[in-house]
Amino acid sequence: MTARPLPTVLLVAAIGLAAACPARAQDATTGADVFKSRCAICHSVAEGRNMVGPSLFGVVGRPAGTIPGYRYSAAMRNSGLTWDAATLDSYLTNPALVVPQTTMTYGGLSDARTRADLIAYLSTLH
Protein backbone atom coordinates (compact mmCIF):
# COMPACT_ATOMS: atom_id res chain seq x y z
CA MET A 1 0.00 0.00 0.00
CA THR A 2 1.42 3.37 -1.02
CA ALA A 3 0.98 6.46 1.07
CA ARG A 4 -0.74 9.45 -0.48
CA PRO A 5 1.26 12.65 -0.65
CA LEU A 6 0.39 14.99 2.20
CA PRO A 7 -1.06 17.78 -0.01
CA THR A 8 -3.64 15.39 -1.51
CA VAL A 9 -4.71 14.25 1.95
CA LEU A 10 -5.10 17.86 3.08
CA LEU A 11 -7.09 18.74 -0.04
CA VAL A 12 -9.48 15.83 0.49
CA ALA A 13 -9.89 16.81 4.15
CA ALA A 14 -10.60 20.46 3.22
CA ILE A 15 -13.22 19.44 0.66
CA GLY A 16 -14.88 17.19 3.21
CA LEU A 17 -14.90 19.95 5.81
CA ALA A 18 -16.37 22.45 3.34
CA ALA A 19 -19.16 20.03 2.47
CA ALA A 20 -19.93 19.42 6.14
CA CYS A 21 -20.00 23.15 6.98
CA PRO A 22 -22.06 25.03 4.41
CA ALA A 23 -21.36 28.74 3.98
CA ARG A 24 -23.42 31.00 6.21
CA ALA A 25 -25.70 33.32 4.29
CA GLN A 26 -25.70 37.00 5.08
CA ASP A 27 -27.96 37.81 8.01
CA ALA A 28 -29.86 41.11 7.83
CA THR A 29 -31.00 40.77 11.45
CA THR A 30 -27.40 40.54 12.64
CA GLY A 31 -26.60 43.39 10.22
CA ALA A 32 -29.20 45.57 11.96
CA ASP A 33 -27.35 45.00 15.23
CA VAL A 34 -24.06 45.91 13.54
CA PHE A 35 -25.69 49.09 12.21
CA LYS A 36 -26.95 50.04 15.68
CA SER A 37 -23.56 49.50 17.30
CA ARG A 38 -21.27 50.86 14.58
CA CYS A 39 -23.20 53.23 12.31
CA ALA A 40 -26.25 54.70 14.06
CA ILE A 41 -24.24 57.31 15.93
CA CYS A 42 -23.74 59.14 12.60
CA HIS A 43 -26.33 57.70 10.18
CA SER A 44 -30.09 57.27 10.18
CA VAL A 45 -32.07 54.67 8.27
CA ALA A 46 -35.11 56.95 8.05
CA GLU A 47 -35.78 58.41 4.63
CA GLY A 48 -34.72 62.07 4.49
CA ARG A 49 -33.22 62.12 8.01
CA ASN A 50 -29.61 63.13 7.67
CA MET A 51 -27.40 63.32 10.71
CA VAL A 52 -23.63 63.83 10.83
CA GLY A 53 -23.68 61.37 7.92
CA PRO A 54 -26.37 61.06 5.26
CA SER A 55 -29.43 58.85 5.65
CA LEU A 56 -28.73 55.31 4.51
CA PHE A 57 -32.33 54.68 3.52
CA GLY A 58 -32.22 53.37 -0.05
CA VAL A 59 -28.41 53.43 -0.13
CA VAL A 60 -28.05 50.18 -2.11
CA GLY A 61 -28.31 51.09 -5.78
CA ARG A 62 -27.91 54.83 -5.19
CA PRO A 63 -25.11 56.85 -6.77
CA ALA A 64 -22.73 58.14 -4.10
CA GLY A 65 -23.02 61.74 -2.97
CA THR A 66 -26.52 62.38 -4.32
CA ILE A 67 -28.94 62.96 -1.43
CA PRO A 68 -30.33 66.48 -1.87
CA GLY A 69 -29.60 68.75 1.05
CA TYR A 70 -26.70 66.75 2.46
CA ARG A 71 -23.28 68.38 2.32
CA TYR A 72 -20.97 65.73 0.85
CA SER A 73 -17.25 66.13 0.38
CA ALA A 74 -16.14 66.90 -3.16
CA ALA A 75 -14.37 63.53 -3.15
CA MET A 76 -17.65 61.70 -2.51
CA ARG A 77 -19.69 63.80 -4.96
CA ASN A 78 -17.10 63.20 -7.67
CA SER A 79 -16.33 59.54 -6.86
CA GLY A 80 -18.52 58.10 -9.61
CA LEU A 81 -19.48 55.24 -7.31
CA THR A 82 -22.83 53.52 -7.11
CA TRP A 83 -23.51 51.73 -3.83
CA ASP A 84 -23.88 48.08 -4.74
CA ALA A 85 -22.81 45.17 -2.52
CA ALA A 86 -19.27 44.99 -3.90
CA THR A 87 -18.68 48.75 -3.63
CA LEU A 88 -20.11 48.89 -0.12
CA ASP A 89 -17.92 45.95 0.88
CA SER A 90 -14.79 47.71 -0.37
CA TYR A 91 -15.80 51.05 1.13
CA LEU A 92 -16.72 49.62 4.52
CA THR A 93 -13.38 47.80 4.63
CA ASN A 94 -11.42 51.03 4.22
CA PRO A 95 -13.38 54.20 3.34
CA ALA A 96 -10.31 56.41 2.88
CA LEU A 97 -8.77 53.96 0.42
CA VAL A 98 -11.91 53.78 -1.76
CA VAL A 99 -12.70 57.51 -1.60
CA PRO A 100 -9.52 59.39 -0.75
CA GLN A 101 -10.25 62.64 1.06
CA THR A 102 -13.68 61.47 2.20
CA THR A 103 -14.88 63.26 5.31
CA MET A 104 -16.15 60.01 6.83
CA THR A 105 -13.79 59.42 9.72
CA TYR A 106 -14.50 55.71 10.08
CA GLY A 107 -11.49 53.42 10.07
CA GLY A 108 -13.26 50.48 8.48
CA LEU A 109 -14.86 47.18 9.36
CA SER A 110 -12.28 44.42 8.95
CA ASP A 111 -14.46 41.32 9.41
CA ALA A 112 -15.90 40.14 6.07
CA ARG A 113 -18.85 38.31 7.64
CA THR A 114 -19.83 41.37 9.68
CA ARG A 115 -19.65 43.54 6.55
CA ALA A 116 -21.79 41.04 4.63
CA ASP A 117 -24.42 41.09 7.38
CA LEU A 118 -24.39 44.90 7.46
CA ILE A 119 -24.77 45.09 3.68
CA ALA A 120 -27.64 42.56 3.83
CA TYR A 121 -29.36 44.88 6.32
CA LEU A 122 -28.70 48.00 4.23
CA SER A 123 -30.21 46.15 1.26
CA THR A 124 -33.54 45.93 3.12
CA LEU A 125 -33.84 49.71 3.52
CA HIS A 126 -36.19 50.78 0.76
- The pLDDT score that the predictor gives to residue 10 is 35
Domains recognised in the chain with CATH numbers? 25-122 (1.10.760.10)
Q: What angle do CA 62, 88, 124 make, to 5 degrees?
A: 65
Q: Nearest-5° angle of CA 90, CA 91, CA 97?
A: 95
The C-alpha atoms of residue 65 and residue 109 are separated, in whole angstroms, by: 21
Per-residue pLDDT tens over the stretch 32-45:
999 999 999 999 99
What is the pLDDT at residue 24?
60
Q: Which residues contact 67 (CB under 8 A, 6 or more apart)?
A: 50, 54, 55
pLDDT of 19 reads 38
| Mean pLDDT of the 58-85 span | 97
Interval 12-30: pLDDT, tens: 333 333 333 445 678 999 9
pLDDT at 9 over 50: no
pLDDT at 22: 43
pLDDT, tens digit, for every residue of 85-123?
A: 999 999 999 999 999 999 998 999 999 999 999 999 999
Residue-level pLDDT at 57: 98
Q: Is the pLDDT of residue 60 over 50?
A: yes
CA–CA separation, 81 and 91 (whole Å): 10
